[in-house]
């Protein structure tokens, strides 16, 4: 079968959507570190303060709520704004990118060059409702939006190729 082609103009929205799904797969090692750190702190405070520990809990609750609100504002409002602003200054913003998928390899074409990669070049391939994430490492990903494909049959063929040839393949809903 001839290669399946996915062609699209790369946008800040593509990057934001890819980052959103990538964030769901990246793991929460920082969150676990913070939870363990807070457990140690609160256990130490309980031991040191005894009966006055309730005051610490109230202050910690207020601090925790303020932190939650701050993180929510940053991740929902500030981060997308900064991402779009930074994207606009990229030399390759809004350039057309072409991916070709075959059983032997994946070819990526852009104005910056051409790459022929084996499926094994990607640690993981994820199919999401918005497109595909190709993870080169645990920190680096490429995103191909579903709108880049000519048909749903092309998308299904790429899913079957990824299931067969990728080191790890997963479908996210």
At 59-80, the pLDDT tens digits run 777 877 888 777 777 777 787 8
Q: Where are the domains of the chain?
A: 4-11+93-171, 25-88
Residue scoring higher pLDDT (150 or 33): 150
Q: For the chain, count helices (H), then strands (E).
A: 5, 8
Going by their DSSP bridges, the two strands 131-135 and 106-110 should be labelled as unpaired
pLDDT of 39 > 60? The answer is: yes
The fold of the 4-11+93-171 domain, in CATH, is PH-domain like (2.30.29)
- CA nearest to 91, candidates 111, 108, 114: 111
Residue 26 is predicted with a pLDDT of 59
The CA distance from 143 to 22, in Å, is: 9
Per-chain mean pLDDT for the chain: 86
Tally of CA atoms within 13 A in the half-sphere of 93 that contains its CB = 11
At 43-54, the pLDDT tens digits run 777 777 776 767
At 88-133, the pLDDT tens digits run 898 888 999 999 999 999 999 999 999 999 999 999 999 999 999 9
**DSSP one-letter code for 149:** B
Average pLDDT over residues 20-39: 70
Q: Quote the tokens at residue 30.
A: 């920082």
Share of the chain above pLDDT 70, in %: 93
Stated pTM of the model: 0.74
Q: Which 3 state secondary structure label does DSSP give 162?
A: helix
């Amino acid at each position: 079968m001839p290669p399946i082609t996915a062609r699209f103009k790369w946008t800040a929205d593509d990057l934001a959507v890819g980052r959103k799904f990538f964030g769901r797969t990246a793991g929460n090692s920082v969150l676990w570190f913070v939870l363990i750190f807070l457990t140690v702190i609160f256990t130490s405070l309980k031991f040191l303060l005894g009966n006055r520990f309730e005051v610490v809990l109230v202050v910690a609750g207020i601090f925790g709520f303020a932190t939650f609100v701050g993180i929510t504002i940053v991740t929902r409002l500030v981060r997308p704004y900064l991402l779009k602003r930074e994207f606009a200054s990229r030399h390759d913003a809004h350039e057309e990118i072409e991916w070709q998928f075959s059983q032997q390899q994946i070819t990526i074409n852009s104005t910056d060059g051409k790459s022929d990669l084996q499926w094994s070049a990607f640690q993981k391939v994820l199919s999401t409702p918005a497109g595909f994430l190709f993870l080169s490492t645990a920190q680096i990903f490429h995103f191909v939006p579903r709108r880049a494909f000519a048909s749903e049959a092309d998308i299904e063929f790429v899913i079957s190729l990824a299931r067969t040839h990728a080191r790890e393949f997963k479908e996210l809903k």
